[in-house]
A and B are shown apart, each in its own frame.
Chain A
Amino acid sequence: MKKRTAFAAFRWLLWLWLAAVIVGAFAYAPLAAKFIGQSSRILFFHVPMAWAAFIAFIAAGVSSLRYLFGNRPRRDPRHDRAARAAIELGLLFGLLATVTGAVWSRIMWGAWWNWDPRQTSIVMALIFNGAYLALRDAVEDAEKRARLAAAYAALGLVVTPFFFFVVPRITFSLHPEPVINASGQVDMNPRMLQVLLASGAGFTALFFWLHDLRTRVLAVADQALEAAAAGAPRAGIVGAWGSAPPHITEPGTAADPATASQRTSN
């Protein structure tokens, strides 16, 4: 009960925190120099979303390593679910960061897309991590799927930092200087920095909450499918997205639940 109360308090605090960030982004932080109009305010959402995407992909890699090398001889499916949930959320945040970046690009550079190194590298990171989901879909056997996906996501621990932090710095880019510039210093108005850091913390916490939710949904779905395969009553059976999976039917039919275990949590 204490854990539940603490988590409920965390959720409400997160709501208050991000509400304060929104107010701060529009009413407290000043406008940045060299930015057109109010466009610098997008910084307080764009940067934290990109950061959350980075955290997500790294979390997926860590969960994958835990799946591959932890708890031998049996590989713990919880880590596989955690990795999958992290990749999905990383793609979501990454897409939002790309869209907000494109909006800002339209205002500042006159075009939604410029093949700027920063823009291009985040898309490459999204494609790389999106392939994780395609890989999962391509493998029927559940354990083989989890192993291959884990190996792929673990590779992301090297690839993701490369795309996020190295590629944009290799060539000239129109993108504004990063928060920590080439001299290793933070050259930003203090109020802007406060709101930006608060927003980064808020989005990171939001990612962990969403990750917890998604992992629990996947766990519920897996258990329901296993119960169905074992012939348990249908009550409470839901798919990973909250709807009843269409292939759960009466035994002996073409969509026999005995085959459902092979398709567990794709």
Chain B
Amino acid sequence: MQVSGSIEWVMVVNLIIWTGLFLYLRRLDLQVRALESSQEAPAVEREP
């Protein structure tokens, strides 16, 4: 497949932006999961 010079850079920048977005979303996902766990844990501890 042939790719002209400037378009190649647009593609690379797109990939970098998408990868950064993905990593950010993944980090958010893990943070939310930690928050959910911390909310569930006190409820479990309170049970007799």
A-B contact pairs, 8 of them (CB 8 A): A11-B25, A15-B18, A18-B18, A19-B18, A22-B15, A23-B15, A27-B11, A213-B32
Residue A110 at the chain B interface, CB threshold 8 Å: no
A interface, by DSSP: helix, strand, loop or mixed? helix
**A101-149: which have CB < 8 Å to B?**
none
User: Is the CB of A217 closer than 8 A to any CB of chain B?
Assistant: yes
Residues of B within 8 A of A14 (CB): 22
Does chain B have a CB within 8 A of A152?
no
**Chain B interface size, under 10 / 10 to 19 / 20 to 34 / 35 or more:** 20 to 34
Q: Is the CB of B15 within 8 A of A19?
A: yes
B17 to A, closest residue via Cβ:
A22
Minimum CB–CB distance for A190 against chain B, Å: 15
Are B15 and A38 in contact, CB atoms less than 8 angstroms apart?
A: no
Compute how far the CA of A266 lies from the CA of B26 in the bound complex, rounded to whole angstroms.
25
Q: How many of chain A's residues have a CB under 8 angstroms from any CB in B?
A: 29
Return chain A residues, CB-CB under 8 Å to B18: 15, 18-19, 22
The closest CB in chain B to the CB of A215 belongs to B32
Q: How far is the CA of A238 from the CA of B34 in the complex (A)?
A: 12
Q: Known interface pairs A11-B26, A213-B28. Does A26 touch B11 (Cβ–Cβ under 8 Å)?
A: yes
Residue pair A26, B8 in contact (C-beta under 8 Å): yes
**How far is the CB of B12 from the nearest CB of chain A, in Å?**
9
Instruction: Enumerate A200-238 residues with CB–CB distance to B below 8 Å.
Output: 209-210, 213, 216-217, 219-220, 223-224, 227, 232-233, 235-236, 238
B39 touches A224 (CB 8 A): yes
Contacts of A38 in B (CB 8 A): 7
Given contacts A11-B25, A220-B39, list 6 more A-B pairs with CB under 8 A.
A11-B22, A19-B19, A22-B18, A38-B7, A213-B29, A216-B32
Q: Which residues of A contact B36 (CB under 8 A)?
A: 216, 219-220
The reply to whether A15 and B19 form a contact with Cβ atoms under 8 Å apart is: yes
A11, A19, A26: the one within 8 Å of B7 (CB): A26
**Residue of A15, A210, A235 most packed against chain B (CB within 10 A):** A15
Cα distance, A216 to B31, chains bound together (Å) = 11
Asked if B44 lies at the interface with its beta carbon under 8 angstroms from chain A, I say no
Binary A-proximity of B30-45 (CB < 8 A = 1, otherwise 0): 0110011011001000
A165 within 8 A of B: no
- Are B11 and A22 in touch, CB under 8 angstroms? yes
Whether the Cβ atoms of B35 and A28 lie closer than 8 Å is: no
Interface string of A13-25 (1 = CB under 8 A from B): 0110011001101
CB of A13 to closest CB in B, whole Å: 11
Task: Tell me the nearest residue of chain B to A11, going by C-beta.
Answer: B26
Find chain A residues with CB under 8 A from B32 CB: 213, 216-217, 220
Q: A22-B18, A213-B32, A220-B39 are in contact. Are A27 and B25 (CB under 8 A)?
A: no
Chain B residues, CB < 8 A from A11: 22, 25-26, 29
